[in-house]
């Protein structure tokens, strides 16, 4: 026999889950309506969702099962030579015919995995998101609206414009703040959450990937600097970022900081060169 307090707690949890699912379904309906409105003349694949995966056996199945499902959406998962059961978890998904799995034969890094996904994609708009469960698929519509409305070429999700439910390390915030100032002062783009991997890009912006030099996590910064250098408009949009429930981030600061510094110096040189040698 259950106690009244347990019944109330169970009822509250069910109500919370129902509200969450209702919001997600509403956002997906809005997304599907947008896709039907803006689909191209040939009715080809309109959106490609690209997920790089490295040792995310605890989350990848959940992430893929909660993505929007529509004939105008394709999902490309790039396994960067995971050493756990990530691949097996992907193959457990029912009705996974809309999911294209690409395998790296050896670990090549976050940026390289995204580039592989982009090469295999067919969409007019590319969505990139992480596979650790922190990004919510219902926020995809927030990324797409400025692009659909012609206000941006690239959108980047921002926890600072939305929400996040975990304690942010001070080193992370200070690093992002420093990059924010550099990107604004020298490249004219304001991107506060500049290390976010949840983004959308028009297909026409894929030229920014032609001369990518940084295949690790510095790829995220290089993408912004290259896009700014080429004159593409970047806009931050609100997303709701969840805490990471399993494992920990693969970002190693002692390796990332030298790469970020080198990336910034390289693009500052490119910027100066463009100014004086137009």
> Quick check: 224 and 194 in contact, CB under 8 A?
yes
Q: Does residue 219 have a pLDDT over 50? A: yes
* Mean pLDDT, rounded, for 1-7: 53
**pLDDT computed for residue 65 by the predictor:** 92
**pLDDT computed for residue 96 by the predictor:** 67
- The answer to the question of residue 271 being in a domain is yes
- The answer to the question of residue 15 being in a domain is no
- The answer to the question of residue 7 being in a domain is no
Q: Does residue 78 have a pLDDT over 70? A: yes
Q: Does residue 28 have a pLDDT over 70? A: yes
Residue 100: which of 55, 48, 144 has the closest Cα? 48
**Dihedral (C-alpha) 256, 111, 203, 228: value to the nearest 10 degrees?**
20
Q: Does residue 105 have a pLDDT over 60? A: yes
**pLDDT computed for residue 18 by the predictor:** 44
CATH code of the domain containing 91: 3.90.550.10
- The answer to the question of residue 17 being in a domain is no
Q: Residue 55 to residues 76, 153, 196: CA-CA distances in angstroms?
A: 16, 31, 19
Find the range with the poorest average confidence among 36-40, 115-119, 219-223, 239-243: 36-40
Percent of the chain with pLDDT over 70: 83
- The answer to the question of residue 269 being in a domain is yes
* Mean pLDDT, rounded, for 53-67: 94
- Sign for the CA dihedral angle at 177, 201, 76, 71 comes to positive
- Distance in angstroms (rounded) separating the CA atoms of residues 167 and 106: 34
- The answer to the question of residue 13 being in a domain is no
**pLDDT computed for residue 236 by the predictor:** 96
Q: Does residue 198 have a pLDDT over 70? A: yes
Q: Which residues of 21-45 are buried (b: 16+ CB within 10 A; e: fewer)?
A: eeebeebbeebbebbeeebeeeeeb
Average pLDDT, the chain: 85
> Quick check: 95 and 199 in contact, CB under 8 A?
no
- The answer to the question of residue 182 being in a domain is yes
Domain that holds residue 122: 23-276
**pLDDT computed for residue 17 by the predictor:** 47
Copy the structure tokens of residue 210: 């032609």
**pLDDT computed for residue 27 by the predictor:** 76
**pLDDT computed for residue 9 by the predictor:** 52
- The answer to the question of residue 268 being in a domain is yes
Residue 11 — pLDDT band, cuts 50, 70, 90?
A: very low
Looking at the structure of the chain, the number of domains it has is 1
- Report the predicted TM-score, pTM, of the whole model to 2 decimal places: 0.85
DSSP at 235: E
Q: Which residues of 141-179 are buried (b: 16+ CB within 10 A; e: fewer)?
A: bbbbbbbeeeebbbbbbbbbebebeeeeeeeeeebbeeb
């Amino acid at each position: 026999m259950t106690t009244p307090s347990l019944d109330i707690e169970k009822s509250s949890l069910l109500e919370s889950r129902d509200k969450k699912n209702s919001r997600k379904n509403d956002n997906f309906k809005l997304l599907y309506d947008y896709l039907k409105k803006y689909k191209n003349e040939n009715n080809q694949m309109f959106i490609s969702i690209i997920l790089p995966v490295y040792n995310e056996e605890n989350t990848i199945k959940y992430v893929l099962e909660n993505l929007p499902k529509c004939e105008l959406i394709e999902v490309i998962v790039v396994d960067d030579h995971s050493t756990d059961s990530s691949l097996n978890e992907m193959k457990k998904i029912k009705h996974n015919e809309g999911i294209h799995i690409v395998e790296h034969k050896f670990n090549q890094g976050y940026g390289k995995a995204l580039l592989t996904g982009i090469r295999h994609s067919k969409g007019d708009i590319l969505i990139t998101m992480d596979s650790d469960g922190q990004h919510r698929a219902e926020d995809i519509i927030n990324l797409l609206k400025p692009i659909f409305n012609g206000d941006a070429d690239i959108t980047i999700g921002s926890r600072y414009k939305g929400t996040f439910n975990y304690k942010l390390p001070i080193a992370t915030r200070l690093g992002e703040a420093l990059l924010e100032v550099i990107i604004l002062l020298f490249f004219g783009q304001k991107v506060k959450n500049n290390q976010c991997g949840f983004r959308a890009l028009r297909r026409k912006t894929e030229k920014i990937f032609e001369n990518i030099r940084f295949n690790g996590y510095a790829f995220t910064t290089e993408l912004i600097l290259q896009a700014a250098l080429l004159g593409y408009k970047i806009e931050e949009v609100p997303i709701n970022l969840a805490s990471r429930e399993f494992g920990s981030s693969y970002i190693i600061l002692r390796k990332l900081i030298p790469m970020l510094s080198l990336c910034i110096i390289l693009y500052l040189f490119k910027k100066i060169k463009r100014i004086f040698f137009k």
